[in-house]
Amino acid sequence: MNTGIKKIPRVLTYLVLCFWALTTIYPFIWVLLNSFRKKGLILSDSFSLPLGDSFTWDNYITAWQRADFKNAYLNSFLISGTVTVFVVIIAGLAAYGLVRYRFRGRDFLYSLIMAGMMFPVFSTIIPVFRLEVMLGIAGTGRRWLSLLAVILPQIAGNLCFAIIILMGFIQSVPIDLEESAYLDGCNVFQIYFYIIIPAAKSSFATVAIFAFLWSYNDLFTQSFFLRYPQERAITGLLNEISSQAGVNYGLMASSVVLVLIPVLIVYICLQKHIIKGLTAGAVKG
């Protein structure tokens, strides 16, 4: 599509675009290369390929031995998986209700959700922490309770964004489908599960991906609630390694790679959904 800037030569366009692409890809390649480089060589020569003498697996072996990655992966997947499932279910129900029903106070609820997007996690975390201590969930030192303590506020933190994105999509589902299902004898819940969810599948996927990634990457909430070694989730673990590694830069590089791998897999498999789903919701909002 021609939206302007026609005069600029094609070559220059690609040059600029490739330059920015280089800034987003190269740092990761640099870290990956250096995670395989022998100790000490990073500081003198970090640009060449680590081949032959300078190649080593040591950084990964040290990282795996020194920190409990297995346990941290498990914790992270438990937390983020649970958050994702609950956010999708709860937000889907609420978005459907808000889009299809006309009732008093609907606009008020909608603006409450918009306002909820404004609260930074800083402003709610302390009262949530105190509430959870009172309820006996947080600060007990018991692993499963501590994980729950992270899960609950993360669900709430993701809900507003999820509801707004899903509302945009459900609005675009033609209501005729629901009406014919109703005439065939379906009740509202059957309509929701058999018509709405399949029709808005891609937006549910978007919401699920974002809920997962945000929860996985959220250092702030994790560092508030997960204080003991066996509770540590992956982002917190990385933060700890970085403060202990000192000048062992190879160890830092390999830890970064280990943390990135799951994210990379999710992103590459699902990138079409991520970008399509996000923009459709964001621009409408």
Partner 1 sequence: MNSMIYKNKKPLLVFLIPAFAFLIVFLYYPFFQNVVNTFLKIGGLGRASQGLNTPWYENYQRLFTDPNMRTALKNTLLLTLCTIVFQVGIALILALLVDTIRVGAQFFRTVYFFPIVISATALGLMFNLIFLYKGGMVNQLLLSLGRLPSEVKPSGKVLVQWLDWKDQAHFLFTMFMPVMWQYVGFYFVILVTGLNNISPDLFEAAALDGADGWKRTRYITLPLLRNVLCTCLVLAITGALKVFDLPWVMFGAGMPENRGWLTGTYMYDQTFNRMNVDYGSTIAVLIVVLGVVLSNIANRVFRPSDDL
Of residues 11-30, which lie at the interface with partner 1 (CB under 8 A)?
13-14, 16-17, 20-21, 23-25, 27-28, 30
Residues 6+ apart with CB under 8 A from 87: 155, 158, 159, 162, 207, 208, 211
Which CB sits closer to partner 1, 229 or 285?
285
Min CB(193)–partner 1 separation in Å: 12
Q: Cα(89)–Cα(83) distance, rounded to whole angstroms?
A: 10
Residues 6+ apart with CB under 8 A from 188: none
Which CB sits closer to partner 1, 201 or 227?
227
**Contact call for residue 283 and partner 1 (CB under 8 A):** yes
The footprint of partner 1 on residues 229-258 (CB under 8 A) is 235, 238-239, 242, 249, 252-253, 255-256
Which CB sits closer to partner 1, 163 or 208?
163
Q: Which of these ranges, 52-60, 65-73, 154-162, 197-205, lies near partner 1 under the rule CB under 8 A? A: 154-162
**Contact call for residue 97 and partner 1 (CB under 8 A):** yes
Min CB(267)–partner 1 separation in Å: 5
**Contact call for residue 6 and partner 1 (CB under 8 A):** yes
**Contact call for residue 175 and partner 1 (CB under 8 A):** yes
Nearest alpha carbon to residue 261 among 32, 16, 95: 32
The footprint of partner 1 on residues 121-140 (CB under 8 A) is 121-131, 133, 139
The footprint of partner 1 on residues 258-277 (CB under 8 A) is 259-260, 263, 266-267, 271, 274-275
